Chain A
Amino acid sequence: MRFSERPALRSPWLLGPLGIAAVLLAWSLISLSGAVDPLFLPSPPAVWQAVVEQFQEGILVADAIASIRRVFLGFALSAALALPLGIAMGSNPLICRLLEPLLGLIRYMPAPAFIPLLIIYFGLGELPKVLLIFIGTFFFNTLMIMDAVKFVPQELLETALTLGGRGLPILTRVVAPYIAPQVIDAYRINMASAWNLVIVAELVAANEGLGKRISLAQRFLRTDEIFVGLIVIGLIGLLIDLGFRAVLRRSCRWAS
């Protein structure tokens, strides 16, 4: 505990699953008690049934792939462009002065507000959805990488200079390894917004995808399918998050 002096639990990793189990239990009890209309709160078996159906029809996997693909394309573009720009802004005060106010401003424009514009420009295909994810994550990625570069300790850079280092080698051999954990963590955090945005984009207009499935289910009052969508979205997000954490642990043993 950060703020108190309680002794550590013997197996604290049990707490997370315990919390989830408690919610599942409460859900089962409420729907068994019949206090809430199943139309509003489908029972766990009904939701599981919907999962099996969607899986057998193949739409669950197709939806998941469609959403993941959009997130991956948009985020890969964002991550790949944010890295050099963030490093340039973090290491060159002039570039920073020029761009930081602009990026700081755009960052506060909610990405979903760009959807109408993107539809007018690019129609209803894949491109506007990928671009939405790009817009929603690029500025955060860039500014977080810029900050990481700005906080590389001066001593580490100056030591490299006095050891005979110059320009590019200092960038690749001092700055890059130092910021790596923070960059991976920035990607992990902003990936959550990418995952939110793809659902928003699909709610507005799409032929397939997990968000699309939810909005269809709403039209037919299929709350069980909405639950499926929500749970699958949550699980995929969690897996991506765990993936980033694993990469961080593996690649940056020194930082933990």
Chain B
Amino acid sequence: MHLSVHGVSKSFGEGRQAKLVLDDISFSIKSGEFVALVGSSGSGKSTVMRLIAGLERPSAGVIALDGQSVRGPGSDRGMVFQKYSLYPWMTAAQNVAFGMSLQGLPRPLVRERTAYFLEVVGLQDAARRLPKELSGGMQQRVAIARALAADPKVVLLDEPFGALDLQIRESMQEFLYQLWQRSGLTALLITHDLEEALLLAQRVHIMAPRPGRIVRTVEADLDRSNLPHLRMSAPFLELREELVTTLRNLDAAAS
């Protein structure tokens, strides 16, 4: 699996009203990698994700998955939104099964895989509950299970924990990291939370706004055997401090 974003620009609007939102974005992700895009709100992160998902078309440049240029949405690129994305009338299990069922997988297989992925996210006991009966963290785990169950080549996560309380967010970050380690999934995480990006991703692209562009790329070679410990460790804090300064200067320059 190889996802490449090459020279991608995006403007919204026509003629004089046209607004350049992304300027010449390039990066790529290989099988099994965990990559993050970080930037302040409005720097175009979600737009990058929507372009990769095929929900928008680039104004210039090419996005290709395994050499095939992306032309629209498809189940090879799974997506997890910040919120509101579970189907409220479906139980947790029905939500997880939905993609497989849309793709026409045989029923016994759907049932088996649904049970499996609910277990992967630790929600086998909540299978029959409606989204409104689940906590925010549980809802996002269902959304992740649903994305994984559709068997995508890459999972795109757009601020998946942004709406959660701090404590739950930390445990969800650990959950996502372990999931990535165990299942070998390929993930692109979008966040405005630098700590989250550094904690989870092997490579972090930092974006600046107006127009959105990648200003720096960091290889975060950190020892992730103990995430709670890593949050407090000196190399992590140093790296975070340095990047926070970078981001702050960017915002100051832009405003």
Contact = CB atoms under 8 A, between A and B. Distances in A.
Interface of A: 153, 155-156, 158-165, 169, 173-174, 177-178, 252-255
Contacts of B79: 158-159, 162
B155 to A, nearest CB: 10
B54 to A, nearest CB: 8
A164 B99 contact: yes
Contact of B85 (A156, A165, A178, A255): A156
A174 B78 CA distance: 17
B63 to A, nearest CB: 14
B57 interface: no
Given A156-B85, A162-B53, A163-B102, A254 B130 contact: yes
Contacts of B77: 162
A164 B81 contact: no
Contacts of B150: 162-164
B205 interface: no
Label chain A's interface by main secondary structure.
helix
6 nearest A-B pairs in the assembled complex, by CB-CB distance? A163-B99, A164-B75, A161-B73, A162-B79, A254-B89, A155-B85
A158 B89 contact: no
B237 to A, nearest CB: 35
Interface string B61-95: 00000000000111101110101110111000000
A160 B84 contact: no
A44 to B, nearest CB: 47
Q: Binding site of B, secondary structure by majority: helix, strand, loop or mixed?
A: loop
Nearest to B83: A155
A174 B79 CA distance: 17
B55 A178 contact: no
A26 B191 CA distance: 66
Contact of B87 (A156, A164, A255): A156
Nearest to B95: A159
A178 B86 CA distance: 12
B53 A163 contact: no
Contacts of B78: 162-163
